[in-house]
Structure 1
Amino acid sequence: MQSPWVQRTLAIIYPPRCLGCGGLVENTMGLCGDCWRDTSFIAGLTCGKCGTPLPGESDTGETCDDCLRISRPWGAGRSVFQYRGTGRKLVLALKHGDQHDIVGPAAIWMARAARELMENDTLIIPVPLHPWRLLKRRYNQSGLLANALAKRTGHQFCGDALMRVRHTESLDGKNRDARFATLTNAITANPKRAAMIEGRNILIVDDVMTSGATLAAATEACFTAKAAEVRVVALARVGKDT
């Protein structure tokens, strides 16, 4: 651990910057006022399956229109913010810009969003990348988020519990049906880790939830490996107005 003197010295040499715009901020884990206001953090009434914000108030669990139309194999889901504005910028910077300093704050936000989804024996795992895509990108952004979330919450983490056994084309621009068709049988449990999944409560982590096809494929792989319960959390949720 760095001494306070070292930390103060580094802060003078490398003053903390906003994760969104790069402007000066008070600490290394923050957003400036403008970027914070431009990040659509999800609060209040939300869908219990995907975490998308819902209008009004309710004392009971509610489900959004998408999750009413589409069968969700997981039990419950949460998302941190909507995929727009600064939230979208943060996801893209992590996914394609090697901006890994986003992971720490993201883990704090995800821990708050998913606190009701985690039990004592919860195993936290990421949505996997195909080896070819992992080789090209050099890291799995969902793996970074899942690992940081596990450290933050004290739960067990397994980065290779699931595998992409079929290389799929990019889902960008595809409609809901095409996304589900593309992901069919593309994800399976890693035979070497199946014993870790069996009988466990699983929390699957992804960076973005759009149609839910990827998370559905990952969930089904967990249930095939005899998971007891599966829940999901995404950093960002794509909404109808994005």
Structure 2
Amino acid sequence: MGRVMRGFGVISGPLGRFLYPPVCAGCGGAVTRAAALCAPCWSGLHFIERPYCEVLGSPFSFDLGRGFLSAEAIAEPPVFARLRAAVIYGDLAGRLVASLKYSDRTDLVPLMAGWMSRGGRELIAEAGVVVPVPLHPGRLFRRRFNQSAELARALAGHERLPFAPVSLRRIRSTRSQVGLGPQERLANVRGAFLVPPERADDIRGRRVLLVDDVFTTGATVSAAARALKRAGAAEVDVLVFARVAADAR
């Protein structure tokens, strides 16, 4: 361990910065520090700010007053209480998510989790435990890590909240949601999650902050929230890095 830490010190010190200069997390261009974005990439991110729907966190084009809900939240109230996202899913946000998920860019976790912490401040203030959306064990073995768990771990550590990475399990292997329609997505994840009886005390009576990387139609987090509520969660809020714009789904 000491040898590893000394090696890390070299890499993170002046010699390391000379040999491995920091690059933009979005485009790979030169930047002044690691885990940062260059100015053009920064301007390409659409951070979600108020006004937005108090339930689904979808941004409004003009201020309708605090507490106003979107037509979608009124017509189809979600299983979870509230959703917040740091950014709107677009080209750059998609590249960041893909780099973390498929290219082992875990160095992006502090950057992305920091933005999530800012976007989900009110949810974090009321959270009793942080739970990531789990991968099925087979997919976790192939991918080697769960990107949602790494984001949740960073959030919980920074905010000093209990972290329960194994309190929710994916008990059924499902197809990737990519390319599926809304109804297919719902059917794909129905009954896919379970809180094991031996982990129920982690959840019971607590307000759970459920963490995922991307919100598209809400099928996955809704199925996960149902399992958490069946296990006795007082309520479930959802915090994601990026959400697809309501008019793009």
Q: Which moved more, 1:186-195 or 1:99-108?
A: 186-195
Report the aligned-residue RMSD: 2.0
Question: Among 146, 162, 183, which residue is 2:152 paired with?
Answer: 146
Q: Is the 8 A contact 1:50 1:79 kept in 2?
A: no
Counterpart residue type for residue 220 of structure 1: R
- TM (norm. structure 1) is 0.93
Question: Among 157, 161, 169, which residue is 1:163 paired with?
Answer: 169
The size of the alignment, in residue pairs, is 242
Match of 2:111 in 1: 105
Question: Among 15, 21, 26, which residue is 1:20 paired with?
Answer: 26
Q: Which moved more, 1:46-55 or 1:176-185?
A: 46-55
Counterpart residue type for residue 33 of structure 1: A
> Which string of whole-angstrom CA distances, capped at 9 and with x for unpartnered residues, describes residues 1-27 of structure 1?
988996333323322111101111122
Deviation at 1:192, TM superposition (A): 2.6
Q: Is the 8 A contact 1:119 1:201 kept in 2?
A: no
Q: Distance in 2 between matches of 1:231 and 1:127?
A: 12
Deviation at 1:241, TM superposition (A): 3.2
Match of 2:45 in 1: 39
> Which string of whole-angstrom CA distances, capped at 9 and with x for unpartnered residues, describes residues 13-66 of structure 1?
322111101111122131001111111221231222232221101332233343
Counterpart residue type for residue 123 of structure 2: L
Note the residue ranges of structure 2 that are not aligned, 5 or more in a row: none
Counterpart residue type for residue 190 of structure 2: T
Match of 1:232 in 2: 238
Match of 1:123 in 2: 129
Match of 2:213 in 1: 207
**2:206 aligned with 1:194:** no
Deviation at 1:88, TM superposition (A): 1.0
Residue pairs, 1:33-72, within 5 angstroms = 33-72=39-78
Match of 1:87 in 2: 93
Query: What SS class does the counterpart of residue 31 from structure 2 fall into?
Result: coil
Q: Distance in 2 between matches of 1:228 and 1:119?
A: 15
- Check 1:6–1:241 CA distance in 2 against 1; reply closer, same or farther (3 A cut): closer
**2:248 aligned with 1:241:** yes
Q: Distance in 1 between matches of 2:101 and 2:234?
A: 31
Q: Is the 8 A contact 1:107 1:152 kept in 2?
A: no
Q: Determine which structure has the larger helix proportion and give its number.
A: 2
Match of 2:143 in 1: 137
Q: Percent identity?
A: 38
Match of 1:96 in 2: 102
Q: Which moved more, 1:46-55 or 1:195-204?
A: 46-55
- Check 1:177–1:69 CA distance in 2 against 1; reply closer, same or farther (3 A cut): farther
Q: Distance in 2 between matches of 1:67 and 1:81?
A: 19
Deviation at 1:122, TM superposition (A): 1.7
Note the residue ranges of structure 1 that are not aligned, 5 or more in a row: none
- TM (norm. structure 2) is 0.90
